[in-house]
Amino acid sequence: MSKNSKREPEVILRDHIFDGIREYDQKLPNWWLFTLYFAIVGFILLWFAYYQLPLGLKSDTERIEAKIAKIDQKREALLEAMVSSLSNESLQEMSQKPENAEAGKAIFETKCLACHGPDLTAKMGTIQLPGVSLVDEEWLHGSEPLKIMEIVTNGSPNIEKGMIAWKTQLSPTDIALVVSYILSKQPKN
C-alpha cells in the first residue's frame, strides 16, 4: 500500500435476516416519521400559543389569584352577614353557653395564648406578654361584645403595638366563639 492511498472504513452489517427483512439497513416507515414531525411541530405551535400569544389563557398564578379573590369575597360576605345578624346581646347569650365557651377556649389556646396568656391577663408568671389583659376593667378600644369582635376580626387600629387581624386565619364562627370565650371570663359574668 502506498502512503497516499486511504482505506475506506468498511461498514460491516451483521448477517441478520428475520422474516425476509434485513436489519440495520432499513429506513423508518413514513407514517412513523410523519407522526414524529407532526408531534414536534404541534408542540412548538402549542407552546408558542400558550406562552407567547394573549389568547385569554391565564397563567397558573393568575388563576390561583382569581380563586383566592373569590374565596376572600365569600369570606367577607359571610362575615358581614354574620356581624349584621349579631348584636351585643346575642354575643352575651353565646358566652353563657358552656359549649360555646369551651369551643372558643380551644381556639383561644391555639391562636391567642402566646400574647394574652392562659388566664387572659397577658402575664405568664412574672413575665409581661405582648398582649393586653382581657379580664380587667380597662379596655383600649371598647368593651362591648361587637367592639371586641371587630378588634379580633380586623386587628387593632395601632398595628405596630396592637393585635393582628384574624379574619384571614379564622372563620367568622371561630371569631364569634373566641369572643364568647373572652366574654365568659369577664368579671361581670
CATH class of segment(s) 60-184: mainly alpha
pLDDT classification of 30: cutoffs 50, 70, 90: very high
Amino acid at 158: N
Is the overall model pTM greater than 0.75, yes or no?
no
Query: What are the residue ranges spanned by the domains of the chain?
Result: 17-52, 60-184
Give the N- to C-terminal CA distance of the chain in Å, as an integer.
116
pLDDT at 109 over 70: yes
Q: What is the mean pLDDT of residues 5-29?
A: 68
**Banded model confidence at residue 70, pLDDT cuts 50, 70, 90:** very high
Per-position b or e across 101-113, b if 16+ CB within 10 A of its CB: bebbbebbeebbb
